[in-house]
Structure 1
């Protein structure tokens, strides 16, 4: 396959011979720290608080899943860490440095792939590369990422020529193109069918094993959160509890990845988290879990 990555799009770590370096696995990763974060939006009746008193540390290399009811500030939290929004109070630090606007150390992938329809998949992935680096380094980085997400065979195809799952894989590769230290995922698999969603979860874990960046993923799917994450952060709606801080609970997920989806310990945590979301399963925690290919959704 002959790549046609644009000359002005590539990675900044080029060797003198132009081959470039894939620094993702070897570089020191940075974590995220949030101190006293609050976010309020103007409303006719006065400021409407979405987040309040949010203190959180995400160590380097951790996968943190964020769940909660609609309106609790999950996507707002992600936008704040991405530098796309500014907190009303508090401070966010990445690797010890205070966040001021968007930061090249972070990358975001959304629920929709948001690919440019007139560009090939490889050109869409190349859009995520830092500017001003060597052509060959960028070509090598894009090829590596397409192989990582299993799309090397579809590099020259356009978004309309591939499935939704393939388009989402291209979107994930684009987010990884700059070798981000912090990867932010906002319901990245929510629009996919159940089987493709399960496969994408496994793919994300494979990518994290190869390039262990810090990951914060927002999801409505409790099973997905428990399968992917080291910790699950449960947020509460401040509309329902005006006196509390945003964090209702933080749950450590036992076991090393990849986990058994039918693990009894995960089934018990699932029941507890769903109860925290106001969803009662009518199933005792001692009952044996029943495997299902369909992810369980919490209320939107």
Structure 2
């Protein structure tokens, strides 16, 4: 299914080489051949006074890719999303989206947070409509909102207010609002962290269904290694710079997730990658550790007789 972008948004993007967004020529060079939704981060750093949060971050994100970002607290995961969203500016390097540099808040990106952040006095339908590009025609906007509510399974709850629905339903409305403008890049900051375990699993499945229907580029920050491996094409692990050597950058490793989506959560290959990532995060996975109360001993020839 092709992404539906409101006509007014398409017209604004076509009106200028930067697509109507606050981008201009990049210190890393413009690339007019870059695909819509492709991201390039070159030498990105962010410091707050003497404290470095990100350093030497080089990354290419393919158009339509789902990229998960993991790492310990304080490694700059949320800062990275803010930089891509244009809510903050890098201290070094540049970020290019679709061939031009992001400078300031960019209408080609959309953010969904851990909390739904819906307006309590508006219906779910009206909250989703807040995400539409400015100037969208009324009839076109109504159709876009109806389509998105159907996509996230909330068409029956369109007239309800946030206090009248569950946390999972509110988060689905938040995702629909983020998608309303037809963004090139969808940024998700721990989007399911506040949900119970079962609802979280359902929301992971829903995100993949949404991505199949509207294949935008997705950057998702998560503390859940299993979630990262289930959702993403690649997983980027960041390191905390205060514990890093001066020559080390923010990226500790990038892992390609081998199996195609949708994935079996019990896949042995994913379990092995989970152990590798947890070990890299300093959390022993205890993979292969004997159960409590059991003992091990070296094997002898008699064992194989």
TM-score by length of 1: 0.85
Corresponding position: 1:273 with 2:268: no
Give the corresponding residue for 1:5.
Answer: none
* Number of residue pairs aligned between Structure 1 and Structure 2: 261
Deviations 1:267-291 (A, max 9, x none): 0000000000000011139xxxxxx
What does residue range 231-246 of structure 1 map to in structure 2 within 5 Å? 231-243=234-246, 244-246=248-250
Change (3 A) 1:181 1:60: same
Verify the 8 A CA contact 1:14 1:137 in the aligned structure 2.
Answer: no
Give the corresponding residue for 1:288.
Answer: none
What is the alpha-carbon distance in structure 2 between the residues aligned to residue 202 and residue 105 of structure 1?
A: 25
What is the alpha-carbon distance in structure 2 between the residues aligned to residue 14 and residue 252 of structure 1?
A: 34
Deviation of the 1:31 alpha carbon: 0.9
Give the corresponding residue for 1:161.
Answer: 164
Deviation of the 1:14 alpha carbon: 8.9
Give the corresponding residue for 2:222.
Answer: 219
Verify the 8 A CA contact 2:36 2:97 in the aligned structure 1.
Answer: no
Give the corresponding residue for 1:210.
Answer: 213
Secondary structure, counterpart of 1:103 in structure 2: coil
Give the corresponding residue for 1:283.
Answer: 287
Corresponding position: 1:247 with 2:251: yes
Deviations 1:55-104 (A, max 9, x none): 00100000000000000000000000000000000000001111111111
Which residues of structure 1 form unaligned runs of 5+?
Answer: 1-9, 16-27, 286-300
Deviations 1:18-62 (A, max 9, x none): xxxxxxxxxx632111000000002xxxx1000000000100000
TM-score by length of 2: 0.83
Give the corresponding residue for 1:96.
Answer: 99
Within the candidate set 7, 29, 37, 1:12 is matched to 7
Within the candidate set 265, 268, 282, 1:264 is matched to 268
Deviations 1:215-264 (A, max 9, x none): 00000000000000000000000011142100000000011100000000
Within the candidate set 173, 178, 194, 1:175 is matched to 178
Verify the 8 A CA contact 2:46 2:91 in the aligned structure 1.
Answer: yes
Deviations 1:104-142 (A, max 9, x none): 110000000000000000000000000112110000000
Which residues of structure 2 form unaligned runs of 5+?
Answer: 11-34, 290-305
